[in-house]
Structure 1
Amino acid sequence: MTAEFIVITGGPCSGKTTIIQALAEAGHTTVPEAATELIEDPALENLRADPLEFQLQVLRRQLENEKRAGERAEPQSVIFLDRGIGDGFGYLSYHGLEPFEELLDAWPEARERSRCVLFFDSRPDYQAASHRSETPEEARRIHEILLADYRSRHDRVLLIPWLPVEERLALVLEEAGLTGREA
């Protein structure tokens, strides 16, 4: 059996990356957020102006990152994803765009590899990260769209409430079946 993915997602600035970093520090295999990698690349600074092209590049980067992580991981292990391929559907919907062929083609396999989607509730006092530009209202709308879309596409979407990092991390590890075990 190959490694399984657990998607950690939610609206902008819901604490996903903080938990991914804590998991990585504890020795777990993680995949960073592809969109953030693209946003922080100075050579691609104008990419966000075209939401369709941006989502296409996010998908391609995500697929590359997942492939590399899968090649490094032990069989039957868990890989934690900072957002997943399914996020593309929600972001396209947010921008009023239809899913493109590459995303539609990639989804069935991504769905099959993903044991569950841990959907993080947003922090009560929205604080945008430096690479994010959404207003609190936009972040709330993205959160709603992503949640509805994941619920329509994946049969195991679990809501993770806003909690202190240690408590959220414990919930994530419990859902992964990793409580009391080393990475």
Structure 2
Amino acid sequence: MRRIIISGGPGGGKSSLLEALREAGFPCIQEVSRELIRGQVAANSQCVPWKNLACFAKSCLDKMIADYHVASDRSLTFFDRGIPDIIAYLRFGGISVDDDFMVMAKKYRYDSNVVIAPPWADIYVNDSERWQTFSEAQALYSEIKNVYDELGYQMIELPLAPVEQRVAFTLTKLERIEYK
């Protein structure tokens, strides 16, 4: 089983790619943070990233570990972000990363190849769960790449192209990479 992370800064087209992969029949695990934000906002909780990033990160970690275990037995399962993304968000937010996050990032290893969506100004939009400016999204993208690199992952950068081309690019690249 290969657990493939699709990562990148906010607004790079990850969710569109995941949706297209899902429509093509691949099992996909949705982004944890959007689901958690909606629930926390509805509950009028303080455990949202713009009020208490540490609390929010812990909630994300717990959910990502649970999602890791429900990955399909099929050959590929795609994840909209992985545990290393939490570490990048914490660092970007200036919050020290508890050892627990690094331990879990090393324990719950995904496929060694991470598909990463670069910042793309033409498609970037703010919404109720994406509050960062485009320049913040670019800086966060850099931090995400740094964390994945630090943890020994190889990045496959997506082209700035329509989603259909991104799907073909992703599947072609993954077919050519020997399973590790």
Same topology, TM > 0.5: yes
Aligned residues: 171
Q: Which residue of 2 aligns with 1:12?
A: 10
**Secondary structure of the corresponding residue to residue 158 of structure 1:** strand
Q: Which residue of 1 aligns with 2:113?
A: 116
Alpha-carbon distance, 1:102 to partner: 2.6
Tell me whether 95-104 or 166-175 shows the greater mean CA deviation. Answer: 95-104
Q: Which residue of 1 aligns with 2:46?
A: 46
Alpha-carbon distance, 1:119 to partner: 1.0
Q: Which residue of 2 aligns with 1:58?
A: 60
Map of 1:1-183 to 2, 5 A cutoff? 3-41=1-39, 42-43=42-43, 45-48=45-48, 49-69=51-71, 73-74=72-73, 77-111=75-109, 113-125=110-122, 126-177=124-175
Query: Is contact 1:31–1:79 with CA below 8 Å preserved after alignment?
Result: yes
Query: Is contact 2:112–2:153 with CA below 8 Å preserved after alignment?
Result: no
**Secondary structure of the corresponding residue to residue 176 of structure 1:** helix
Q: Structure 1 counterpart of 2:125, which letter?
A: Q
The percent of aligned pairs where both chains have the same amino acid is 27
Alpha-carbon distance, 1:45 to partner: 4.4
In 2, Cα distance between equivalents of 1:31 and 1:45: 24
Q: CA RMSD in A?
A: 1.7
Query: Is contact 1:52–1:97 with CA below 8 Å preserved after alignment?
Result: yes
Runs of 4+ aligned structure 1 residues displaced above 4 Å come to none
Q: Structure 1 counterpart of 2:62, which letter?
A: R
Cα deviation 1:62-106 (Å, max 9, x = unaligned): 11122122xxx225x111010011101110110111222331221
Query: Is contact 2:6–2:14 with CA below 8 Å preserved after alignment?
Result: yes
Query: Is contact 2:4–2:113 with CA below 8 Å preserved after alignment?
Result: yes
What residue ranges of structure 2 are gaps of 5+ in the alignment?
Answer: none
Q: Which residue of 2 aligns with 1:181?
A: none
Q: Structure 1 counterpart of 2:47, which letter?
A: L
| TM-score scaled by length of structure 1 | 0.86
Alpha-carbon distance, 1:122 to partner: 1.6
| TM-score scaled by length of structure 2 | 0.87
Query: Is contact 2:65–2:108 with CA below 8 Å preserved after alignment?
Result: no
In 1, Cα distance between equivalents of 2:20 and 2:141: 22
Alpha-carbon distance, 1:116 to partner: 1.1
